[in-house]
């Protein structure tokens, strides 16, 4: 049995899809639906049972036999909104939940993968190196990132990173993100915008080193992410924190042009002022260092931005459909 928390969410449901692709259906999905549409991601997927996240914590704390059936926990559940301002909620939901699951897995010899975040790198002033000796020097610039950093620091300071896997996802995009509202990728939001207005709007740059639309991100396709996750899950001798990106930063203009190309439409981009509340926490450059993952033998070849956008636009965004 494999447990996937956040299993109805973007990366979690995509990983359930990956497990199904590998012939695995003995899966427990842990999540909370509330009023958003993430449940739609699960409709075409095969899994054994859905458990609410609160009930799940109570279950593992009270039922000692439950662990004997479990081979891995893939912990993707979190509040991923970088604009969330309730730090107590983020600490309880993102940090404490991660630590409780780690403790349970370590006590019961269960493979444990959890989602950290590339947001922990802050403005990138200390680089994007996933070596453990850089963790203490990182300076997150929003509450969400700090809630992730606190878990990383706990594992580092208690010598646990040799026994578990933390994943620092960069700018992930692809099918199954439709329920995320304003937190959807620009690639996802672009298609309906282009259809309605014939153009795509991007933030202007307030940084002299970057032209409008020239801000750079490491855009990584969801299918590549879940391939990496599956490889790590099935290679229990590989542990530690790893970046999940392409290792090659691209501009927002590059992304926009790739979406337009996927739609077979001539690019038309309009730039507008960035909202004030985002300016202090905006990253102008992110690029995953991928040497560490390569050095441990991970064979996954990353999809180019152009090919990823072509697949996303033509096979999933028109109309929006989940992985199945």
Provide the annotated active-site residues.
144, 180
SS3 assignment, position 189: helix
Q: Work out whether the CA dihedral 210, 212, 217, 220 comes out positive or negative.
A: negative
d(CA 175, CA 260) in angstroms, rounded, equals 17
The structure tokens listed for 87 are 């730090």
- Identify whether the C-beta of residue 72 lies closer than 8 Å to the C-beta of residue 5: no
313 dihedral zone (left: phi>0; alpha: psi -120 to 50; beta): alpha
- For the chain, the 3-state helix, strand and coil shares in percent, each to the nearest 5, are 45, 15, 40
Alpha-carbon 284 to chain mean position = 19
- CA dist list (Å): 3 to 69, 74, 249: 10, 6, 32
- Identify whether the C-beta of residue 298 lies closer than 8 Å to the C-beta of residue 232: yes
d(CA 92, CA 98) in angstroms, rounded, equals 9
């Amino acid at each position: 049995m494999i447990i996937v928390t956040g299993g109805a969410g973007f990366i979690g449901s995509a990983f359930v899809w990956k497990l199904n692709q590998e012939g695995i259906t003995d899966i427990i999905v842990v999540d909370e639906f509330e009023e958003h549409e993430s449940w739609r991601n699960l409709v075409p997927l095969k899994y054994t049972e859905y458990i609410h996240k609160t009930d799940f914590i109570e279950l593992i704390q009270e039922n000692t036999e439950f662990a004997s059936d479990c081979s891995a926990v893939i912990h993707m559940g979190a509040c991923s909104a970088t604009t969330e301002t309730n730090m107590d909620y983020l600490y309880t939901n993102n940090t404490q939940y991660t630590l409780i699951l780690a403790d349970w897995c370590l006590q019961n010899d269960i493979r444990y993968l959890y989602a950290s975040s590339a947001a922990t790198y802050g403005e990138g002033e200390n680089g994007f190196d996933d070596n453990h000796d850089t963790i203490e020097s990182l300076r997150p610039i929003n509450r969400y990132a700090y809630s992730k950093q606190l878990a990383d620091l706990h594992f580092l300071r208690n010598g646990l990173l040799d026994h578990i896997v933390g994943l620092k996802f960069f700018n992930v995009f692809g099918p199954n993100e439709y329920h995320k509202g304003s937190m959807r990728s620009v690639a996802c939001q672009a298609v309906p915008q282009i259809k309605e207005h014939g153009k795509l709007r991007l933030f202007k740059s307030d940084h002299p080193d970057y032209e409008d639309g020239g801000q750079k991100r490491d855009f990584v396709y969801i299918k590549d992410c879940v391939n990496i996750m599956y490889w790590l899950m099935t290679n229990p001798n590989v542990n530690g924190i790893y970046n999940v990106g392409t290792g090659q930063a691209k501009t927002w203009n590059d992304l926009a042009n790739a979406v337009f190309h996927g739609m077979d439409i001539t690019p038309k981009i309009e730039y507008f002022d960035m909202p004030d509340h985002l300016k202090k926490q905006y990253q102008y450059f992110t690029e995953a260092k991928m040497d560490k993952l390569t050095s441990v033998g991970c064979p996954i070849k990353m999809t180019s931005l152009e090919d990823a956008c072509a697949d996303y636009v033509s096979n999933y965004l028109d109309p929006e459909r989940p992985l199945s």
